[in-house]
C-alpha cells in the first residue's frame, strides 16, 4: 500500500515542481516588466499603466503556483516553539493535524475559487487591459488550490500509512533540520 502511495506522492511532487517552475518564471517576468516600467516612466517619460496590472497578476500566479511546492518541502510557517519539542506519536499527530489543516484550507480555496471564476464569467467582467477577461486571472485561485490539495492529500495518506512524506527536510532527534540547524 505504501508503494502505491509513494507513486501518488511522486506524481503530486512532479506536478508541484512543474507548477513552482512556472511560478518562478512568472516572478522573473514580473521583475523584468517592473524594470521596463521604471525605464519607461523615469527615463522616457512614458508610463505604461498596463505593466502595473500585469505585474500584480504575475505575483498572484507566483504565489498560487508555488504554494504546493512549499507545502511539499514542508517550508510553510509552523509554530516551531511547540513542534520542535514534540517527539514520537505527539510529533506525528501534530504533522497530521498540520496537513489536515492545509488540506481543509485548500478545499475551501478550491470551492471558493471555482465560484469566483463562475461568477466572473457569468457577469463578463473584464480587466483594465482590453480583451483580458477577469476570470482568466481568477482561474489562478482554483488551480493553485487544486495543486495544494493534491500535495497535502498525498502527504496525509503517506503519514497515515506510517511513512514519512518525501520532500521534507531530514530532522535530528531535536526536530532540527540538518542543513539549517533550525526547525521547520
pLDDT digits (tens, 9 = 90+) for 130-170: 788 999 999 999 999 999 999 999 999 999 998 888 876 55
Q: Report yes or no on 31 lying in a domain.
A: yes
Q: Report yes or no on 41 lying in a domain.
A: yes
pLDDT value, residue 171: 52
What cell does 19 get? 507548477
pLDDT value, residue 131: 80
How far is it between the farthest Cα atoms of the chain?
64
Question: What average pLDDT does the chain have?
Answer: 87
Which DSSP category does 177 fall into?
A: B
Q: Report yes or no on 165 lying in a domain.
A: no
* pLDDT of 122 above 70: yes
Separation of alpha carbons 26 and 23, rounded Å: 5
Separation of alpha carbons 111 and 22, rounded Å: 23
Residue closest to 52 by CA, chosen among 62, 37, 40 = 37
pLDDT value, residue 79: 64
Instruction: Quote the percentage of the chain above a pLDDT of 70.
Output: 88
Residue 157 — left, alpha, or beta (φ > 0 → left; ψ -120 to 50 → alpha)?
alpha
pLDDT value, residue 60: 94
What cell does 115 get? 465560484
| Helix locations, the chain, DSSP H | 2-38, 49-72, 80-83, 88-123, 134-138, 140-160
Domain that holds residue 124: 2-160
* pLDDT of 21 above 60: yes
Separation of alpha carbons 105 and 119, rounded Å: 21
pLDDT value, residue 169: 55
Residue with the bigger pLDDT between 2 and 165: it is: 165
Residue closest to 79 by CA, chosen among 64, 106, 97, 66 = 97
Domain count, the chain: 1
Q: Report yes or no on 177 lying in a domain.
A: no
Q: What are phi and psi of 115, to 5 degrees?
A: -65, -40
pLDDT value, residue 164: 86
pLDDT value, residue 180: 44
* pLDDT of 27 above 90: yes
Per-residue pLDDT averaged across 68-88, rounded?
80
- Report yes or no: 147 and 102 within 8 Å, Cβ to Cβ: no
Q: Report yes or no on 86 lying in a domain.
A: yes
Q: Report yes or no on 79 lying in a domain.
A: yes
Q: Report yes or no on 90 lying in a domain.
A: yes
Amino acid at each position: 500500500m505504501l508503494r502505491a502511495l509513494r507513486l501518488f506522492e511522486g506524481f503530486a511532487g512532479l506536478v508541484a515542481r512543474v507548477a513552482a517552475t512556472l511560478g518562478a518564471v512568472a516572478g522573473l517576468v514580473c521583475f523584468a516588466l517592473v524594470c521596463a516600467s521604471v525605464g519607461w516612466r523615469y527615463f522616457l517619460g512614458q508610463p505604461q499603466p498596463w505593466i502595473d496590472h500585469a505585474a500584480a497578476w504575475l505575483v498572484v500566479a507566483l504565489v498560487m503556483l508555488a504554494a504546493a511546492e512549499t507545502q511539499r518541502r514542508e517550508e510553510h510557517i509552523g509554530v516551531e516553539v511547540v513542534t520542535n519539542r514534540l517527539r514520537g506519536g505527539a510529533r506525528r499527530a501534530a504533522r497530521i493535524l498540520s496537513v489536515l489543516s492545509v488540506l481543509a484550507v485548500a478545499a475551501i480555496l478550491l470551492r471558493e475559487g471555482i465560484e469566483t471564476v463562475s461568477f466572473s464569467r457569468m457577469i463578463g467582467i473584464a480587466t483594465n487591459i482590453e480583451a483580458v477577461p477577469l476570470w482568466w486571472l481568477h482561474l489562478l485561485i482554483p488551480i493553485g488550490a487544486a495543486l495544494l490539495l493534491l500535495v497535502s492529500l498525498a502527504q496525509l495518506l503517506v503519514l497515515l500509512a506510517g511513512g514519512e512524506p518525501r520532500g521534507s527536510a531530514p530532522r535530528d532527534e531535536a526536530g532540527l533540520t540538518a542543513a539549517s540547524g533550525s526547525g521547520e
